[in-house]
């Protein structure tokens, strides 16, 4: 984990970018250490580190055990989706659909949080985030999103996006 723990931004960003690849190749006993390093960087004060973590969240989701989804990756997702930087919120858009498809049906509270966050991102102040939601909406609709969010909420979110008056 030396590369991801380095103090300079290039080694750190490179280190964080390979963590999901490492997760696929290490034994289950080492996955906890990788998740710990990833989690630490997710809460970094440096925007570029959080951005890299946000961009690679989708790469981490299929690699972690189900308990780590709720214990480690869900808090990271919620943090990214409410970050003050739009570029970091942008990275959480695709992760919302992926989490909804990966979380077990028994994780109702986590599913509710992800679905609620997805609808909040649809009304984000940054047009790039709203556009990413719109672009991902077909994937969201064909996945488990509507059944986990509820069709009424899906339609409210969609009609809200259609009313977006920003020229972009």
CA atoms within 13 A on the CB side of 112: 4
pLDDT tens digits for range 126-163: 889 988 988 887 777 776 666 666 677 777 777 777 67
* Residue 4 confidence (pLDDT) above 60: no
What is the H or E stretch that residue 129 is in?
helix 127-142
Percent of the chain whose pLDDT exceeds 70: 85
d(CA 7, CA 100): 34
Provide the sign of the torsion angle of the four alpha carbons 72, 78, 84, 87, taken in this order.
Answer: positive
d(CA 4, CA 66): 24
- Domain spans, the chain: 2-162
* pLDDT of res. 147: 66
For residues 102 and 168, the model is more confident at 102
What is the phi/psi pair of residue 46, to 5°?
-85, 125
Q: Tokens representing 111?
A: 């599913």
39-43, 54-58, 124-128, 133-137: which has the minimum mean pLDDT? 133-137
User: Among all chains, which residue has been given the structure tokens 């250490």?
Assistant: 33
What number is the average pLDDT over the span 100-125?
Answer: 88
Q: Where are the alpha helices (DSSP H) in 7-107?
A: 9-25, 28-42, 47-55, 57-60, 66-68, 74-81, 86-102
Q: So what's the architecture of 2-162 in CATH?
A: Alpha Horseshoe (1.25)
């Amino acid at each position: 984990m030396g590369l991801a723990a380095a103090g300079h931004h290039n080694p750190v960003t490179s280190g964080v970018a390979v963590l999901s690849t490492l997760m696929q190749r290490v034994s289950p006993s080492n996955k906890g250490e990788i998740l710990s390093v990833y989690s630490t960087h997710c809460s970094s004060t440096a925007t570029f580190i959080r951005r890299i973590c946000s961009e690679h969240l989708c790469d981490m989701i299929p690699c972690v055990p189900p308990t780590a989804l709720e214990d480690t990756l869900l808090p990271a997702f919620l943090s990214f989706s409410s970050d003050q930087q739009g570029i970091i919120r942008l990275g959480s858009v695709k992760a919302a659909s992926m989490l909804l498809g990966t979380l077990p049906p028994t994780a109702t509270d986590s599913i509710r949080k992800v679905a609620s966050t997805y609808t909040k991102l649809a009304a984000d102040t940054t047009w790039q985030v709203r556009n990413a939601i719109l672009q991902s909406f077909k994937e969201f609709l064909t996945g488990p999103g509507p059944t986990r969010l509820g069709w009424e909420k899906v339609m409210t979110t969609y009609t809200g996006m259609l009313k977006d008056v920003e020229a972009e």
